[in-house]
Structure 1
Amino acid sequence: MTTITAPPRAAVRTADLTRIYGSGDTAVRALDGVSVEFPTGRFTAIMGPSGSGKSTLMHCAAGLDTVTSGHAWIGGTDITTLNDHDLTVLRRDRVGFVFQAFNLLPTLDARANILLPLRLARRRPDRAWFDRLVEVLGLADRLDHRPAELSGGQQQRVAVARALVTRPEVVFADEPTGALDSVAGTDLLGFLRRSVDEFGQTIVMVTHDTHAASYADRIVRLADGRIVADEEC
């Protein structure tokens, strides 16, 4: 199959993206022809009420869910044309993920959890980059601890370090502060903001929280599977 390419003017781009679940009278149109760009080096929040399609948009744009029609690009690669193997490799090598559930492996310590994506890709870690992430995230004295020995905020910071250790083109964050208290959530949002300002990272974050969205450069609002507002912060 020929892969459609597009100029990498944005870290992520979608064109007429549609996602329908079910069929016939029970069909649900979660996304209805969404076209949007997420620029490189910026922090974008996706907001909307429950059922608006915000998480579906992120999952389709990240290659975590299949699309019914339309296209999604990461850089210049049309991910909607990739087979399962190539899509897995792309997500592993070029995308970082931070979820509300920390998704850490309980048998591995913090260091091994952070380095896991590189281990799976058989890539050597950049020691200076690893050390900088650990320092900025305040994890230097927790690297030998397993997830059960860490607080919720510390576990989420390990998850963020894991998402950034490969220097991905984009980090997708789905309600990353949802399981954290207000102090830990604010600390995490501050680091995500710094990762954009200091590291040039691109972040696309789904959130229902206006406080979390205030850290973004831009807010894209969805309702009924369509973009209803696109605001610079």
Structure 2
Amino acid sequence: MQHGDPAGAQSPTTAVAAVDLVKVYGTGATAVRALDGVTVGFGRAAFTAIMGPSGSGKSTLMHCLAGLDTATSGQALLGGTDLTRQPDRVLTRVRRERIGFVFQSFNLLPQLTAEQNIRLPLDLAGRAPDPALSARVVEVLGIGDRLRHRPSELSGGQQQRIALARALVTAPEVVFADEPTGNLDSHSGAEVLSFLRTSVREWGQTVVMVTHDPAAAAYADRVVLLADGRIAGDLDRPDRATISGALHDLAVPR
């Protein structure tokens, strides 16, 4: 599934894709073209990192693919659903039922216990939890003894594990992770990344992660590079040195 390949972007093995995606902020002389005709697909049961210099469009791409932002033109496809053509009420349901989110800031509700935070997407959707899946997520994340605690009683690493459990317990088609280790120390960050990789390799989860950190991206199966709102590279199973070199090349003026 190569970048810039419309057929590959819409393959049956693709979980989520952009097709000629354009996002412009502002109008006239102050307009900023954050995405400039991006076509890329992200495979099912794969862990993909999106990287690029500051202002390259990586977060904008993720937000459009997740239905959190509206594209100016083009398509953002989740399975067979074009999110760019859906009303807000449908997008809300799609985000709740088919997508999991992990953010840098955890986004846990302070008045709820860890268990209540994990169950929140299911409660909002009126769905009963899958006991087997819930038990497996809690076990793998090692949070069984933290379920009655509130976020203020947990470390940053523990809070991010709760956020990850919340993202996984709905069995979403895709988990989007936006700088998930940005507020964590190196040890806690490595644990979260290992859990994401486990969810892909053992459970067949699809994960798309935005990160600026080559060490974090090296956990992924694939790294998609953006620059100036366009696809600038596609690395298959790269190591940290390869990723760092590719980012350095993007930063060098041409």
* Same fold (TM > 0.5): yes
Query: Is the aligned partner of 1:58 residue 2:88?
Result: no
Instruction: Give the Cα–Cα distance (whole angstroms) in 1 for the partners of residues 11 and 82 of structure 2.
Output: 11
Q: Could you tell me how far 1:9 is from its partner in structure 2?
A: 3.3
Which structure has the higher relative contact order (CA within 8 Å, separation 6+)? 1
- Provide TM-score, normalisation by structure 1: 0.97
Paired position in structure 1 for 2:80: 76
Q: Deviations over 1:200-221 (max 9, x none)?
A: 0000000000000000000000
- One-letter amino acid of the counterpart of residue 131, structure 2: R
- One-letter amino acid of the counterpart of residue 212, structure 2: H
SS in 2 for 1:11: strand
Query: Is the aligned partner of 1:157 residue 2:164?
Result: no
SS in 2 for 1:98: strand
Query: Is the aligned partner of 1:169 residue 2:173?
Result: yes
Matches within 5 A, 1:91-130: 91-130=95-134
Structure 1 residue ranges (4+ consecutive) displaced by more than 2 angstroms after TM superposition: 6-9
- One-letter amino acid of the counterpart of residue 166, structure 2: R
Contact kept? 1:20, 1:29, Cα under 8 Å: yes
- Provide TM-score, normalisation by structure 2: 0.89
Closer, same or farther in 2 for the Cα pair 1:31/1:40, shift >3 Å? same
Matches within 5 A, 1:82-231: 82-231=86-235
What stretches of structure 1 of length at least 5 have no aligned partner? 1-5
- One-letter amino acid of the counterpart of residue 205, structure 1: M
Instruction: Give the Cα–Cα distance (whole angstroms) in 2 for the partners of residues 183 and 230 of structure 1.
Output: 28
Q: Could you tell me how far 1:231 is from its partner in structure 2?
A: 1.0
- One-letter amino acid of the counterpart of residue 204, structure 1: V
Contact kept? 1:7, 1:76, Cα under 8 Å: no
Q: Could you tell me how far 1:8 is from its partner in structure 2?
A: 4.2
Structural RMSD (CA): 0.8
Contact kept? 1:7, 1:75, Cα under 8 Å: no
Q: Could you tell me how far 1:7 is from its partner in structure 2?
A: 6.2
Instruction: Give the Cα–Cα distance (whole angstroms) in 2 for the partners of residues 51 and 13 of structure 1.
Output: 21
What stretches of structure 2 of length at least 5 have no aligned partner? 1-9, 238-254
Q: Deviations over 1:125-165 (max 9, x none)?
A: 11111111111001000000000000000000000000001
